Structure 1
Amino acid sequence: MFCAKEERAMLYQVTDWDDAYANAAHIPGAEAWPDRWTEAAATFRAAHPPEALGTGHLFRPQGPARGLVVFIHGGYWMRFDPSVWSHLAAGPLARGWAVAMPGYRLAPQARIGDITAGIADAIATAAARVEGPLAISGHSAGGHLAARMICDDGTLPDALAGRITACVPISGLCDLRPLMQTAMNATLRIDAGEAASESPALLRPRTGIPVTCWVGGAERPEFLRQSRLLADIWAGLGAPTDCVVDPGRHHFDVIDALAQRDSALTRRLTRLA
Protein backbone atom coordinates (compact mmCIF):
# COMPACT_ATOMS: atom_id res chain seq x y z
CA MET A 1 0.00 0.00 0.00
CA PHE A 2 1.26 3.49 -0.85
CA CYS A 3 1.47 6.07 1.89
CA ALA A 4 -0.28 9.40 1.34
CA LYS A 5 2.99 11.11 0.40
CA GLU A 6 3.70 8.52 -2.30
CA GLU A 7 0.17 8.86 -3.67
CA ARG A 8 0.55 12.63 -3.98
CA ALA A 9 3.85 12.17 -5.84
CA MET A 10 2.03 10.16 -8.52
CA LEU A 11 -0.61 12.79 -9.21
CA TYR A 12 -0.44 14.84 -12.41
CA GLN A 13 -2.35 18.10 -12.49
CA VAL A 14 -2.02 21.09 -14.79
CA THR A 15 -2.29 24.42 -13.00
CA ASP A 16 -0.84 26.67 -15.73
CA TRP A 17 -2.27 25.76 -19.13
CA ASP A 18 -0.18 28.30 -21.02
CA ASP A 19 3.03 26.86 -19.61
CA ALA A 20 1.82 23.32 -20.22
CA TYR A 21 1.77 23.98 -23.97
CA ALA A 22 4.76 26.37 -24.11
CA ASN A 23 7.58 24.55 -25.87
CA ALA A 24 10.17 27.25 -26.57
CA ALA A 25 10.35 28.31 -22.93
CA HIS A 26 11.63 24.86 -22.01
CA ILE A 27 14.13 24.29 -24.87
CA PRO A 28 17.60 25.87 -24.50
CA GLY A 29 18.41 28.04 -27.51
CA ALA A 30 14.88 27.75 -28.82
CA GLU A 31 15.03 31.12 -30.59
CA ALA A 32 17.60 29.76 -33.08
CA TRP A 33 15.51 26.87 -34.33
CA PRO A 34 13.21 28.67 -36.84
CA ASP A 35 16.18 30.18 -38.71
CA ARG A 36 17.90 26.80 -38.68
CA TRP A 37 14.84 25.11 -40.19
CA THR A 38 14.38 27.83 -42.80
CA GLU A 39 18.00 27.68 -43.93
CA ALA A 40 18.03 23.87 -44.16
CA ALA A 41 14.74 23.94 -46.07
CA ALA A 42 15.99 26.48 -48.61
CA THR A 43 19.17 24.49 -49.18
CA PHE A 44 17.14 21.34 -49.76
CA ARG A 45 14.80 23.03 -52.23
CA ALA A 46 17.77 24.36 -54.20
CA ALA A 47 18.96 20.79 -54.67
CA HIS A 48 15.46 19.29 -55.11
CA PRO A 49 13.17 21.84 -56.79
CA PRO A 50 9.55 21.00 -55.94
CA GLU A 51 6.35 21.21 -57.92
CA ALA A 52 3.80 23.72 -56.67
CA LEU A 53 0.97 22.21 -54.63
CA GLY A 54 -1.37 25.13 -54.01
CA THR A 55 0.53 27.06 -51.35
CA GLY A 56 2.67 24.00 -50.62
CA HIS A 57 5.21 21.76 -52.31
CA LEU A 58 5.41 18.35 -53.94
CA PHE A 59 8.82 16.68 -54.12
CA ARG A 60 9.34 13.74 -56.47
CA PRO A 61 12.06 11.08 -56.27
CA GLN A 62 14.17 10.01 -59.20
CA GLY A 63 12.18 7.41 -61.11
CA PRO A 64 8.65 6.23 -60.34
CA ALA A 65 7.46 6.97 -56.82
CA ARG A 66 6.77 4.08 -54.47
CA GLY A 67 3.93 6.12 -53.01
CA LEU A 68 3.13 9.48 -51.47
CA VAL A 69 4.12 10.75 -48.03
CA VAL A 70 2.23 13.78 -46.74
CA PHE A 71 3.86 15.91 -44.04
CA ILE A 72 1.72 18.62 -42.40
CA HIS A 73 3.57 21.37 -40.55
CA GLY A 74 2.85 22.61 -37.06
CA GLY A 75 2.86 26.00 -35.38
CA TYR A 76 -0.36 25.76 -33.35
CA TRP A 77 -2.36 26.36 -36.56
CA MET A 78 -1.14 29.99 -36.33
CA ARG A 79 2.45 30.03 -37.66
CA PHE A 80 4.80 28.85 -40.39
CA ASP A 81 4.31 27.54 -43.91
CA PRO A 82 5.70 24.59 -45.90
CA SER A 83 8.82 26.49 -46.99
CA VAL A 84 10.23 26.11 -43.47
CA TRP A 85 10.14 22.30 -43.51
CA SER A 86 11.30 21.18 -46.98
CA HIS A 87 14.39 19.39 -45.63
CA LEU A 88 12.15 16.93 -43.77
CA ALA A 89 11.24 15.42 -47.15
CA ALA A 90 14.79 14.07 -47.48
CA GLY A 91 14.26 10.77 -45.67
CA PRO A 92 11.14 9.54 -47.48
CA LEU A 93 12.41 10.95 -50.79
CA ALA A 94 15.61 8.91 -50.46
CA ARG A 95 13.47 5.82 -49.97
CA GLY A 96 11.72 6.45 -53.28
CA TRP A 97 8.56 8.16 -52.03
CA ALA A 98 7.13 11.42 -53.31
CA VAL A 99 6.53 13.93 -50.51
CA ALA A 100 3.73 16.48 -50.34
CA MET A 101 3.91 19.38 -47.91
CA PRO A 102 0.55 21.15 -48.07
CA GLY A 103 0.03 24.71 -46.98
CA TYR A 104 -3.06 25.92 -45.18
CA ARG A 105 -4.71 29.14 -44.08
CA LEU A 106 -3.72 30.07 -40.55
CA ALA A 107 -5.76 31.21 -37.57
CA PRO A 108 -7.39 33.63 -36.99
CA GLN A 109 -8.25 33.86 -40.71
CA ALA A 110 -9.32 30.21 -40.58
CA ARG A 111 -10.95 28.09 -37.89
CA ILE A 112 -9.52 24.66 -37.20
CA GLY A 113 -12.44 23.01 -38.97
CA ASP A 114 -11.65 25.07 -42.08
CA ILE A 115 -7.99 24.04 -41.89
CA THR A 116 -9.01 20.37 -41.67
CA ALA A 117 -11.08 20.71 -44.84
CA GLY A 118 -8.28 22.54 -46.64
CA ILE A 119 -5.73 19.85 -45.81
CA ALA A 120 -8.10 17.15 -47.01
CA ASP A 121 -8.46 18.97 -50.33
CA ALA A 122 -4.68 19.38 -50.65
CA ILE A 123 -4.11 15.68 -49.99
CA ALA A 124 -6.67 14.78 -52.65
CA THR A 125 -4.89 17.05 -55.13
CA ALA A 126 -1.47 15.55 -54.38
CA ALA A 127 -2.77 11.99 -54.41
CA ALA A 128 -4.25 12.56 -57.87
CA ARG A 129 -0.71 13.26 -59.13
CA VAL A 130 1.04 10.33 -57.41
CA GLU A 131 -0.20 6.77 -57.59
CA GLY A 132 0.23 4.08 -54.98
CA PRO A 133 0.11 3.96 -51.19
CA LEU A 134 -0.33 7.04 -49.06
CA ALA A 135 1.35 7.74 -45.69
CA ILE A 136 0.32 10.74 -43.61
CA SER A 137 2.35 12.48 -40.92
CA GLY A 138 2.53 15.88 -39.27
CA HIS A 139 4.10 17.64 -36.32
CA SER A 140 2.32 19.23 -33.35
CA ALA A 141 -0.75 20.96 -34.84
CA GLY A 142 0.18 19.10 -38.02
CA GLY A 143 0.06 15.89 -35.99
CA HIS A 144 -3.51 16.79 -35.08
CA LEU A 145 -4.31 17.28 -38.75
CA ALA A 146 -2.62 14.00 -39.72
CA ALA A 147 -4.76 12.08 -37.23
CA ARG A 148 -7.82 14.08 -38.24
CA MET A 149 -7.46 12.82 -41.84
CA ILE A 150 -8.13 9.22 -40.82
CA CYS A 151 -11.16 9.87 -38.63
CA ASP A 152 -14.17 7.91 -39.84
CA ASP A 153 -16.37 10.91 -40.57
CA GLY A 154 -15.87 11.42 -44.28
CA THR A 155 -13.00 13.89 -43.99
CA LEU A 156 -11.28 11.96 -46.78
CA PRO A 157 -13.30 10.04 -49.38
CA ASP A 158 -13.31 6.28 -48.98
CA ALA A 159 -11.26 5.60 -52.10
CA LEU A 160 -8.50 7.93 -50.94
CA ALA A 161 -8.55 6.68 -47.35
CA GLY A 162 -8.27 3.15 -48.70
CA ARG A 163 -4.78 3.98 -49.99
CA ILE A 164 -3.42 4.95 -46.56
CA THR A 165 -0.83 2.53 -45.21
CA ALA A 166 0.39 4.57 -42.23
CA CYS A 167 -0.53 7.54 -40.08
CA VAL A 168 2.24 8.92 -37.85
CA PRO A 169 1.23 11.97 -35.78
CA ILE A 170 4.42 13.44 -34.26
CA SER A 171 3.86 15.25 -30.95
CA GLY A 172 0.26 15.54 -32.06
CA LEU A 173 -2.57 17.36 -30.32
CA CYS A 174 -5.46 14.92 -30.26
CA ASP A 175 -7.73 16.58 -27.69
CA LEU A 176 -8.38 20.27 -28.26
CA ARG A 177 -10.33 20.88 -25.06
CA PRO A 178 -7.28 21.80 -22.92
CA LEU A 179 -6.26 24.42 -25.48
CA MET A 180 -9.49 26.28 -24.79
CA GLN A 181 -7.90 27.24 -21.46
CA THR A 182 -4.81 28.85 -23.00
CA ALA A 183 -4.27 32.47 -23.98
CA MET A 184 -3.72 31.47 -27.60
CA ASN A 185 -7.38 30.50 -27.82
CA ALA A 186 -8.09 34.19 -28.31
CA THR A 187 -6.65 33.55 -31.79
CA LEU A 188 -7.74 29.95 -32.31
CA ARG A 189 -11.32 30.54 -31.08
CA ILE A 190 -11.90 26.88 -30.24
CA ASP A 191 -15.28 26.40 -28.61
CA ALA A 192 -16.89 23.31 -27.13
CA GLY A 193 -18.55 22.37 -30.40
CA GLU A 194 -15.36 22.63 -32.42
CA ALA A 195 -13.37 20.77 -29.78
CA ALA A 196 -15.89 17.94 -30.03
CA SER A 197 -15.91 17.83 -33.82
CA GLU A 198 -12.17 18.37 -34.41
CA SER A 199 -10.48 16.35 -31.64
CA PRO A 200 -9.32 12.98 -33.01
CA ALA A 201 -9.45 11.51 -29.49
CA LEU A 202 -13.19 12.19 -29.46
CA LEU A 203 -13.79 10.67 -32.91
CA ARG A 204 -13.63 7.15 -34.32
CA PRO A 205 -10.68 6.15 -36.50
CA ARG A 206 -11.04 4.38 -39.81
CA THR A 207 -10.36 0.70 -39.41
CA GLY A 208 -7.23 -1.02 -40.66
CA ILE A 209 -4.87 1.98 -40.79
CA PRO A 210 -1.76 1.54 -38.59
CA VAL A 211 -1.31 4.57 -36.32
CA THR A 212 1.97 5.41 -34.61
CA CYS A 213 1.90 8.30 -32.14
CA TRP A 214 5.51 9.50 -32.01
CA VAL A 215 6.68 11.89 -29.30
CA GLY A 216 9.96 13.06 -27.80
CA GLY A 217 10.88 11.78 -24.37
CA ALA A 218 11.99 15.28 -23.29
CA GLU A 219 8.79 17.01 -24.40
CA ARG A 220 6.33 18.82 -22.17
CA PRO A 221 4.20 16.35 -20.19
CA GLU A 222 1.06 17.40 -22.04
CA PHE A 223 2.49 16.28 -25.39
CA LEU A 224 3.43 12.92 -23.93
CA ARG A 225 -0.04 12.60 -22.41
CA GLN A 226 -1.79 13.58 -25.62
CA SER A 227 0.19 11.05 -27.68
CA ARG A 228 -0.51 8.23 -25.26
CA LEU A 229 -4.14 9.28 -25.07
CA LEU A 230 -4.74 8.90 -28.79
CA ALA A 231 -2.92 5.58 -29.01
CA ASP A 232 -4.89 4.21 -26.06
CA ILE A 233 -8.31 5.49 -27.09
CA TRP A 234 -8.00 4.43 -30.71
CA ALA A 235 -6.65 1.00 -29.72
CA GLY A 236 -9.84 0.61 -27.69
CA LEU A 237 -11.83 1.40 -30.83
CA GLY A 238 -10.09 -1.33 -32.83
CA ALA A 239 -7.31 0.59 -34.58
CA PRO A 240 -3.79 -0.89 -34.72
CA THR A 241 -1.83 1.67 -32.67
CA ASP A 242 1.59 2.20 -31.17
CA CYS A 243 3.07 5.02 -29.09
CA VAL A 244 6.81 5.56 -29.53
CA VAL A 245 8.59 7.79 -27.03
CA ASP A 246 11.85 8.91 -28.67
CA PRO A 247 14.41 9.18 -25.84
CA GLY A 248 15.94 12.59 -25.22
CA ARG A 249 14.11 14.35 -28.04
CA HIS A 250 12.32 17.63 -27.39
CA HIS A 251 9.53 19.27 -29.36
CA PHE A 252 11.84 20.97 -31.84
CA ASP A 253 14.26 18.15 -32.67
CA VAL A 254 11.88 15.18 -32.58
CA ILE A 255 11.21 15.73 -36.31
CA ASP A 256 14.87 15.76 -37.35
CA ALA A 257 14.83 12.04 -38.08
CA LEU A 258 12.53 12.60 -41.07
CA ALA A 259 15.54 14.03 -42.91
CA GLN A 260 17.33 10.69 -42.54
CA ARG A 261 16.72 7.83 -44.96
CA ASP A 262 17.16 5.01 -42.47
CA SER A 263 15.89 6.54 -39.24
CA ALA A 264 13.32 4.58 -37.27
CA LEU A 265 10.81 7.40 -37.83
CA THR A 266 11.25 7.44 -41.60
CA ARG A 267 11.09 3.67 -41.78
CA ARG A 268 7.92 3.56 -39.67
CA LEU A 269 6.25 6.09 -41.95
CA THR A 270 7.23 4.42 -45.23
CA ARG A 271 6.90 0.76 -44.34
CA LEU A 272 4.30 -1.20 -46.24
CA ALA A 273 2.06 -3.95 -44.90
Structure 2
Amino acid sequence: MPKPLDDAYANAAYIPDAASYPPRWEAEAEAYGTRLAVAIRIRPGLMYGHGTRQALDLFLPEGTPQGLVVFVHGGYWHKFDRSIWSHFAEGARARGWAVAMPSYDLCPRVRIRDITRQVAQAITVAAQEIAGPIRLTGHSAGGHLVARMLEPGLLPDAVAERVAHVMPISPLTDLRPLLELTMNETLGLDRAEAMAESPIAMAPPKVPVTVQVGGDERPVFLDHARWLEKAWGCGNVVIPGKHHFDVIDALKDPDSAMVTTLLER
Protein backbone atom coordinates (compact mmCIF):
# COMPACT_ATOMS: atom_id res chain seq x y z
CA MET A 1 0.00 0.00 0.00
CA PRO A 2 1.45 3.44 -0.94
CA LYS A 3 2.67 5.65 1.88
CA PRO A 4 1.75 9.34 2.26
CA LEU A 5 5.11 10.72 1.07
CA ASP A 6 5.46 8.42 -1.97
CA ASP A 7 3.75 10.86 -4.32
CA ALA A 8 6.04 13.72 -3.35
CA TYR A 9 9.05 11.80 -4.67
CA ALA A 10 7.31 10.33 -7.75
CA ASN A 11 8.93 12.14 -10.67
CA ALA A 12 7.69 10.12 -13.64
CA ALA A 13 4.02 10.54 -12.76
CA TYR A 14 4.33 14.31 -13.30
CA ILE A 15 6.47 14.36 -16.46
CA PRO A 16 4.74 14.14 -19.86
CA ASP A 17 5.75 11.02 -21.78
CA ALA A 18 8.09 10.05 -18.95
CA ALA A 19 8.40 6.44 -20.10
CA SER A 20 10.10 7.54 -23.30
CA TYR A 21 13.11 9.06 -21.57
CA PRO A 22 15.14 5.96 -20.59
CA PRO A 23 14.90 4.38 -24.09
CA ARG A 24 15.93 7.67 -25.68
CA TRP A 25 18.83 8.08 -23.28
CA GLU A 26 19.94 4.54 -24.08
CA ALA A 27 19.78 5.09 -27.84
CA GLU A 28 21.65 8.40 -27.65
CA ALA A 29 24.28 6.92 -25.36
CA GLU A 30 24.87 3.94 -27.65
CA ALA A 31 25.29 6.17 -30.71
CA TYR A 32 27.60 8.49 -28.81
CA GLY A 33 29.74 5.64 -27.51
CA THR A 34 30.05 4.19 -31.00
CA ARG A 35 31.15 7.53 -32.43
CA LEU A 36 33.80 8.02 -29.76
CA ALA A 37 35.01 4.42 -30.08
CA VAL A 38 35.64 4.96 -33.79
CA ALA A 39 37.60 8.10 -32.94
CA ILE A 40 39.43 6.23 -30.15
CA ARG A 41 38.16 8.73 -27.61
CA ILE A 42 36.72 6.29 -25.08
CA ARG A 43 38.28 3.88 -22.62
CA PRO A 44 35.40 1.62 -21.60
CA GLY A 45 35.11 -0.66 -18.61
CA LEU A 46 37.97 0.61 -16.45
CA MET A 47 37.61 -1.39 -13.23
CA TYR A 48 37.82 0.39 -9.90
CA GLY A 49 36.72 -2.55 -7.69
CA HIS A 50 35.99 -6.26 -7.76
CA GLY A 51 32.28 -6.37 -8.64
CA THR A 52 31.08 -6.42 -12.23
CA ARG A 53 29.33 -3.07 -11.75
CA GLN A 54 32.39 -1.46 -10.20
CA ALA A 55 33.65 -0.05 -13.47
CA LEU A 56 33.72 3.28 -15.25
CA ASP A 57 33.94 4.58 -18.79
CA LEU A 58 36.42 7.34 -19.55
CA PHE A 59 35.66 9.77 -22.38
CA LEU A 60 38.66 11.63 -23.74
CA PRO A 61 38.93 15.01 -25.47
CA GLU A 62 41.20 15.99 -28.31
CA GLY A 63 44.69 16.62 -26.97
CA THR A 64 45.78 16.67 -23.34
CA PRO A 65 42.80 16.92 -20.95
CA GLN A 66 42.43 20.14 -18.99
CA GLY A 67 41.35 18.01 -16.06
CA LEU A 68 38.78 15.42 -14.99
CA VAL A 69 35.00 15.67 -14.73
CA VAL A 70 33.14 12.83 -13.01
CA PHE A 71 29.40 12.37 -13.65
CA VAL A 72 27.49 10.07 -11.29
CA HIS A 73 24.11 8.82 -12.51
CA GLY A 74 20.88 8.71 -10.54
CA GLY A 75 18.02 6.25 -10.23
CA TYR A 76 17.27 6.40 -6.48
CA TRP A 77 20.32 4.18 -5.80
CA HIS A 78 18.51 1.12 -7.17
CA LYS A 79 18.22 1.68 -10.94
CA PHE A 80 20.34 2.18 -14.06
CA ASP A 81 24.05 2.01 -14.83
CA ARG A 82 26.56 4.16 -16.69
CA SER A 83 25.63 2.80 -20.13
CA ILE A 84 22.63 5.06 -20.75
CA TRP A 85 24.25 8.36 -19.76
CA SER A 86 27.34 8.47 -22.01
CA HIS A 87 26.12 11.33 -24.22
CA PHE A 88 25.92 13.64 -21.23
CA ALA A 89 29.73 13.67 -21.24
CA GLU A 90 29.87 15.69 -24.45
CA GLY A 91 29.57 19.21 -23.09
CA ALA A 92 32.64 18.92 -20.86
CA ARG A 93 34.53 16.65 -23.27
CA ALA A 94 34.10 19.11 -26.14
CA ARG A 95 35.65 21.78 -23.95
CA GLY A 96 38.78 19.75 -23.39
CA TRP A 97 38.00 17.77 -20.25
CA ALA A 98 38.14 14.02 -19.71
CA VAL A 99 34.86 12.69 -18.32
CA ALA A 100 34.53 9.58 -16.16
CA MET A 101 31.16 7.86 -15.70
CA PRO A 102 31.04 5.06 -13.13
CA SER A 103 28.45 2.42 -12.47
CA TYR A 104 28.00 1.17 -8.91
CA ASP A 105 26.26 -1.66 -7.10
CA LEU A 106 22.58 -1.06 -6.42
CA CYS A 107 20.26 -1.40 -3.45
CA PRO A 108 19.14 -3.77 -2.02
CA ARG A 109 22.30 -5.74 -2.85
CA VAL A 110 24.28 -3.05 -1.03
CA ARG A 111 23.43 -0.12 1.21
CA ILE A 112 23.68 3.54 0.29
CA ARG A 113 26.75 3.91 2.51
CA ASP A 114 28.45 1.21 0.41
CA ILE A 115 27.60 3.07 -2.80
CA THR A 116 29.10 6.25 -1.36
CA ARG A 117 32.40 4.48 -0.82
CA GLN A 118 32.30 2.85 -4.24
CA VAL A 119 31.91 6.27 -5.88
CA ALA A 120 34.86 7.57 -3.85
CA GLN A 121 36.94 4.66 -5.13
CA ALA A 122 35.80 5.26 -8.71
CA ILE A 123 36.88 8.91 -8.49
CA THR A 124 40.21 7.86 -7.00
CA VAL A 125 40.91 5.45 -9.86
CA ALA A 126 39.86 7.97 -12.51
CA ALA A 127 42.10 10.57 -10.87
CA GLN A 128 45.05 8.22 -11.33
CA GLU A 129 44.38 8.22 -15.06
CA ILE A 130 43.87 11.95 -15.62
CA ALA A 131 45.95 14.80 -14.20
CA GLY A 132 44.73 18.24 -13.26
CA PRO A 133 41.74 19.64 -11.39
CA ILE A 134 38.68 17.48 -10.67
CA ARG A 135 35.08 18.65 -11.02
CA LEU A 136 32.23 16.47 -9.81
CA THR A 137 28.63 16.42 -10.95
CA GLY A 138 25.75 13.99 -10.62
CA HIS A 139 22.01 13.84 -11.05
CA SER A 140 19.38 13.03 -8.40
CA ALA A 141 20.85 10.18 -6.32
CA GLY A 142 24.08 10.93 -8.20
CA GLY A 143 23.82 14.51 -6.96
CA HIS A 144 23.62 13.15 -3.43
CA LEU A 145 26.67 10.99 -4.05
CA VAL A 146 28.91 13.77 -5.39
CA ALA A 147 27.91 16.00 -2.48
CA ARG A 148 28.92 13.22 -0.11
CA MET A 149 32.41 13.21 -1.61
CA LEU A 150 33.11 16.41 0.33
CA GLU A 151 33.12 14.63 3.68
CA PRO A 152 36.71 14.74 4.92
CA GLY A 153 38.41 11.37 4.60
CA LEU A 154 36.14 9.84 1.96
CA LEU A 155 38.56 10.71 -0.82
CA PRO A 156 42.32 10.34 -0.32
CA ASP A 157 43.89 13.68 0.54
CA ALA A 158 45.81 13.82 -2.74
CA VAL A 159 42.55 13.44 -4.66
CA ALA A 160 40.43 15.67 -2.42
CA GLU A 161 42.95 18.49 -2.82
CA ARG A 162 42.35 18.44 -6.58
CA VAL A 163 38.55 18.83 -6.35
CA ALA A 164 37.83 22.33 -7.64
CA HIS A 165 34.02 22.39 -7.86
CA VAL A 166 31.07 20.14 -7.07
CA MET A 167 27.77 20.60 -8.93
CA PRO A 168 24.93 18.39 -7.64
CA ILE A 169 21.94 18.42 -10.03
CA SER A 170 18.50 17.85 -8.45
CA PRO A 171 20.19 16.17 -5.47
CA LEU A 172 18.68 14.39 -2.51
CA THR A 173 20.29 16.16 0.41
CA ASP A 174 18.39 14.94 3.49
CA LEU A 175 17.68 11.21 3.46
CA ARG A 176 15.53 11.15 6.57
CA PRO A 177 12.24 11.70 4.68
CA LEU A 178 13.02 8.61 2.62
CA LEU A 179 12.49 6.50 5.71
CA GLU A 180 8.78 7.15 5.18
CA LEU A 181 8.70 5.96 1.54
CA THR A 182 7.65 2.56 0.23
CA MET A 183 10.95 2.72 -1.68
CA ASN A 184 12.79 2.24 1.59
CA GLU A 185 11.85 -1.42 1.45
CA THR A 186 14.50 -1.51 -1.30
CA LEU A 187 16.92 1.06 0.11
CA GLY A 188 16.98 -0.40 3.61
CA LEU A 189 17.77 2.89 5.31
CA ASP A 190 17.57 3.18 9.07
CA ARG A 191 17.59 6.49 10.93
CA ALA A 192 21.30 6.38 11.74
CA GLU A 193 22.35 5.74 8.15
CA ALA A 194 19.88 8.30 6.79
CA MET A 195 21.49 10.95 8.95
CA ALA A 196 25.06 9.83 8.30
CA GLU A 197 24.47 9.85 4.53
CA SER A 198 22.69 13.24 4.41
CA PRO A 199 24.83 16.03 2.93
CA ILE A 200 22.96 18.64 4.98
CA ALA A 201 24.39 17.01 8.12
CA MET A 202 27.95 17.50 6.94
CA ALA A 203 30.09 20.49 7.82
CA PRO A 204 30.03 23.14 5.08
CA PRO A 205 32.86 22.31 2.68
CA LYS A 206 35.61 24.67 1.59
CA VAL A 207 35.26 23.53 -2.03
CA PRO A 208 32.88 25.64 -4.17
CA VAL A 209 29.46 23.99 -4.60
CA THR A 210 26.68 24.96 -6.98
CA VAL A 211 23.33 23.16 -6.82
CA GLN A 212 21.26 23.06 -10.02
CA VAL A 213 17.58 22.13 -10.03
CA GLY A 214 14.72 22.43 -12.52
CA GLY A 215 12.03 24.99 -11.81
CA ASP A 216 9.33 22.53 -12.86
CA GLU A 217 10.53 19.70 -10.63
CA ARG A 218 8.46 18.20 -7.85
CA PRO A 219 8.37 20.68 -4.97
CA VAL A 220 10.32 18.35 -2.71
CA PHE A 221 13.36 18.51 -5.03
CA LEU A 222 13.29 22.30 -4.85
CA ASP A 223 13.20 21.83 -1.08
CA HIS A 224 16.24 19.54 -1.13
CA ALA A 225 18.18 22.12 -3.14
CA ARG A 226 17.23 24.89 -0.71
CA TRP A 227 18.11 22.72 2.28
CA LEU A 228 21.65 22.26 0.97
CA GLU A 229 21.92 25.94 0.08
CA LYS A 230 21.00 26.81 3.67
CA ALA A 231 23.21 24.16 5.29
CA TRP A 232 26.30 24.89 3.22
CA GLY A 233 25.82 28.50 2.13
CA CYS A 234 26.32 27.35 -1.45
CA GLY A 235 24.92 28.51 -4.78
CA ASN A 236 21.49 27.27 -5.88
CA VAL A 237 20.50 27.75 -9.51
CA VAL A 238 16.83 27.13 -10.34
CA ILE A 239 16.46 26.54 -14.09
CA PRO A 240 13.06 27.71 -15.39
CA GLY A 241 10.95 25.28 -17.38
CA LYS A 242 13.01 22.16 -16.64
CA HIS A 243 11.75 19.04 -14.90
CA HIS A 244 13.63 16.18 -13.26
CA PHE A 245 14.34 14.31 -16.50
CA ASP A 246 15.31 17.12 -18.88
CA VAL A 247 17.25 19.30 -16.43
CA ILE A 248 20.44 17.44 -17.37
CA ASP A 249 20.09 18.02 -21.13
CA ALA A 250 22.36 21.05 -20.83
CA LEU A 251 25.30 18.76 -20.00
CA LYS A 252 25.39 17.78 -23.69
CA ASP A 253 25.96 21.37 -24.81
CA PRO A 254 29.49 22.78 -24.36
CA ASP A 255 28.11 26.32 -24.55
CA SER A 256 25.34 25.85 -21.97
CA ALA A 257 25.28 27.83 -18.75
CA MET A 258 25.33 24.56 -16.80
CA VAL A 259 28.54 23.31 -18.42
CA THR A 260 30.11 26.74 -18.10
CA THR A 261 29.29 26.80 -14.38
CA LEU A 262 30.65 23.27 -13.90
CA LEU A 263 33.96 24.03 -15.60
CA GLU A 264 34.60 27.68 -14.80
CA ARG A 265 33.37 28.28 -11.28
TM-score (norm 2): 0.93
**Structure 2 unaligned regions, length at least 5:** 48-54
Alignment of 1:100-111 (within 5 A): 100-111=100-111
1:30 aligns with 2:49: no
In structure 1, what is the equivalent of residue 51 of structure 2?
A: none
**Which residue identity is paired with 1:160?**
V
| Residue equivalent to 1:197 | 196
What do residues 54-112 of structure 1 show as CA deviations (whole Å, max 9, x unaligned)? 22211111100000000000000000000010000000000000000011000000100
Paired position in structure 2 for 1:263: 256
1:31 CA displacement: 0.5
CA drift at 1:249: 0.1
Identity %: 52
Query: How far did residue 197 of structure 1 move?
Result: 1.0
Return the TM-score normalized by structure 1: 0.90
- 1:167 is matched with 166
Distance 1:64 1:202 in 2: 38
2 CA distance for matches of 1:133 and 1:17?
40
Report how many residues are paired.
Answer: 251
Using the TM superposition, give the Cα deviation of residue 16 of structure 1 relative to its aligned residue in structure 2, in angstroms: 2.8
Unmatched 5+ residue regions in structure 1?
A: 1-14, 236-240
| Distance in structure 2 (CA, Å) of the matches to 1:165 and 1:36 | 32
Task: Report the residue type matching 1:16 in the other structure.
Answer: P
Question: CA contact under 8 A between 1:211 and 1:231: conserved in structure 2?
Answer: no
Residue pair 1:213, 1:243 contacting (<8 A) in 2 also: yes
Question: Please, which of 230, 237, 247 is the counterpart of residue 240 of structure 2?
Answer: 247
Q: Distance in 1 between matches of 2:239 and 2:28?
A: 22
Distance 1:33 1:158 in 2: 38
Match of 2:90 in 1: 90
Partner of 2:157: 158
| Structure (1 or 2) with the larger CA radius of gyration | 1
RMSD between superposed Cα atoms in Å? 1.0
SS at match of 1:156: coil
Question: Could you tell me how far 1:231 is from its partner in structure 2?
Answer: 1.3
- Amino acid corresponding to residue 104 of structure 2 in structure 1: Y
1:117-156 Cα offsets, whole Å, 9 max, x none, are 000001000000000000000000000001000123x111
Which of 11, 16, 27 is the aligned partner of 2:4? Answer: 16
Tell me how far apart the structure 2 counterparts of residues 202 and 17 of structure 1 sit (CA, whole Å).
21
Decide whether the 8 Å contact of 2:205 with 2:232 is kept in 1.
no
Q: What's the CA shift string for 1:157-196, capped at 9, x where partnerless?
A: 2221111111000000010000110000000011011011
In 2, Cα distance between the equivalents of 1:157 and 1:125? Answer: 11
Once the two structures are overlaid, the 10-residue window that deviates more, 130-139 or 191-200, is: 191-200
Aligned to 2:225: 227
- Secondary structure (helix, strand or coil) at the match of 2:247 reads coil
State the partner residue of 1:216: 214
